[in-house]
A and B are shown apart, each in its own frame.
Chain A
Amino acid sequence: MEIKKTSLNKLHQEHKAKFVEFAGYEMPIQYSKGIIEEHKITRSNSGIFDVSHMGQLFIYGDDSLTKDLEKIFPVDLENLKLNSSKYSFLMNEDAGIHDDLIITKIDGGYLIILNAACKDNDFKILTTLLDNKYKMNLDEKRSLIALQGPKSSDILNSILNGVNELSFMTGNWFEYKDQKIFITRSGYTGEDGFEVSISNDFAEEFTKMLIDNGAELIGLGARDTLRLEAGLCLYGHELGIDKTPIEANLKWAISKQRMTNGGFIGSKKIIDQINDGIKQIRVGIKPEGRLIARENTKIFNDAETVIGEITSGTFGPSVNGPVAMGYVEKEFSKKDTKVFLEVRGKKYPANICGLPFYKKSYVKGATK
C-alpha cells in the first residue's frame, strides 16, 4: 500500500524533517533542532504539530443520535453542552479498548477525533453499531493541526480573534476569509493549546501564518516525550484491546451517572471491576539515576518476581531525567513502592510515582 502524505508534507520537507512511517502515513519524527529542543520550544513558546493523520469523524443526527451514542460511549452526552468535548473510549463488551478519542458536540451532531492507526476499524465498528442510521463522514478533506504551548493562545488569537476566549475542552467554528475552521482548546502535551480542523487546501497557508507569528514545527518524537511527561496514555502502548479504562487508571473519564446506570458497551465489566477490584493498574515509574527503561522492560519486586511491564519509557527533557509508565500488579502500585527494572540483563532500581511527571498548565475558565 502506498504511503499516505498529509497536506503539510512539503512544508515538513522544507523545514528539514526526518520522516518515519506512522499508521501508514509519512510523518515528521523531528526537524533539524532535534527532539529535546523541540520539546522545550513547546513548553516555553508554541509548537505546531501536524496531526492530520488522525481521524476526524463527523456524525450527523438528531436526539436519537445522542441516545444511540450513549449506548456506545461511557459519556453523559445528554448533558454535554454544545461545542464541549469529552475524552472517552470505544470499547468491546469486555471493556477492552478499541480506541481512545475526543468527542465534541457540534451543531447538528458530533465530531470524534480518532487515532490514526485505529480510525478505519473504528469507522467500521461505529457504522455497524449505529446500523447506518446516520450520516457519517471520516473526513479526509480536512487537516488537523495542534498548536501547543504557553504562547499558542496569543499567536492563534492574532490570526483568529476570539480563540483566546475558548475554555479548556470547548470549541467553536471560526472564519478566515472564506474558510470555516473548527477549533477546540485541547491537546496532548500537558500544555495549554488548540487543535485546529481546517480544509486541506488551506492547511499549508495557515501553518505558515502560525510560523510567521512565532510558532515552530514540532515532530512526533517531541510529541511523545511531551505526552509522557504529562502522564497521558498512547494507544498501542498504555491502551489496547487487552486493557480496560479501569486498569488504565482512567476511571475519571467515565461519567459518574453512566457508571452507576451502565447501558454502554463494556459497562458490565467496568462495574464488575469497580466492585471486585482489578489485578493490574497503570502507574508512573521513575527510574533512579539516568537509565532509560523502554517499552516491554520487565518490572520486578524486590523478591525478583516479575510484577509488571513498562509500556512507554523515554528521557523527559523538562524533568531532565528518565520517565516511564507501565502496568504493575495492584498490590505494588502504591506511590513510592520500590521496584526493579531489567535492562540489558541487569536490574536497576526505580520507584512507582504519581502522574504527571510534569505539571500541566491548562487554561481552565474563559475570560470574557
Chain B
Amino acid sequence: MSEVKYSKEHEWIKIEGDVGTVGITQHATEMLGDIVFVELPDVGSSVEKDGNAGVVESTKAASDVYTPISGEVMENNQAIVDDPGKINSDPENEAWFFKLKIKDSSELDSLMNKEEYDKFAKESGN
C-alpha cells in the first residue's frame, strides 16, 4: 500500500515502506508555467526536511525545490533533466524528481493528505 502526502511548498511524496518518491504538484506547475530546466539533488546526498533539494526554472523565473522530509537520495529522475516539459505534462506521476530513503517517518505527520492539500492550494492561491 502506498500513501501520498503533500507539503505547504507544493511537493508531493509517495511513501512505499521506507522509500519516498518526491515531486511537485500539478498546482505548482500551473503557478510556475512552462518548466524548461531542472536541477536535482545528487544520488547519495542527504537532504533535510524543508531544505533545498533542487531547482526548477520556468520561462519566467527560477524556484527552489524543497524536500518534504529528510533522507538519503537513492535515485534521481534523469528523464526530467533531459526533457523538463514532462514536469508540466505529468507532474504527479511520470515526472517524479527523486527517491529517498526515509530517515524519520514521524516527519510525515506534519504533511497534508490530498483533501487538506487541495483546500490549502485553493485558499493560498500560490
Contacts and interface: CB of A to CB of B under 8 A. Distances in A.
Interface of A: 29-30, 34-37, 221, 225, 290-292, 294, 314-315, 317, 322, 344
A254 to B, nearest CB: 33
Nearest to B52: A344
Interface in B13-72: 33-34, 36-37, 55, 57-62
Contact of A291 (B34, B37, B60, B85): B37
B55 A314 contact: no
28 contacts: A29-B60, A34-B34, A34-B59, A34-B88, A35-B34, A35-B59, A36-B34, A36-B59, A36-B85, A37-B34, A221-B59, A225-B59, A290-B36, A291-B37, A292-B36, A292-B37, A292-B57, A292-B62, A294-B61, A294-B62, A315-B36, A315-B37, A315-B57, A315-B59, A317-B59, A322-B36, A344-B55, A344-B62
Contacts, number: 41
Nearest to B55: A344
Contacts of A317: 59
A191 B60 CA distance: 22
Contacts of B85: 36
A29 B33 CA distance: 11
A30 B33 CA distance: 9
A214 to B, nearest CB: 23
6 A-B pairs with the lowest CB-CB distances in the bound complex, closest first = A315-B36, A35-B59, A36-B34, A34-B34, A292-B57, A290-B37
Contacts of A344: 55, 62
Contacts of B34: 34-37
Interface of B: 33-34, 36-37, 55, 57-62, 81, 84-85, 88
Q: Interface majority SS on B: helix, strand, loop or mixed?
A: mixed
B95 to A, nearest CB: 16
Contacts of B55: 344
Contacts of A291: 37
Nearest to A344: B55
Nearest to A225: B59
Nearest to B59: A35
A29 to B, nearest CB: 7
A27 to B, nearest CB: 14
A73 B79 CA distance: 53
Given A292-B62, A294-B62, A35 B33 contact: yes
Given A315-B59, A322-B36, 12 more contacts: A29-B60, A34-B59, A34-B88, A35-B34, A35-B58, A35-B59, A36-B59, A221-B33, A225-B59, A290-B84, A292-B36, A322-B37
A37 B33 CA distance: 11
B37 A314 contact: no
B112 to A, nearest CB: 26
Contacts of B62: 292, 294, 344
A29 B58 CA distance: 13
A138 B88 CA distance: 43
Contacts of B36: 36, 290, 292, 315, 322
A34 B37 contact: no
A225 B57 CA distance: 14
B37 A35 contact: no
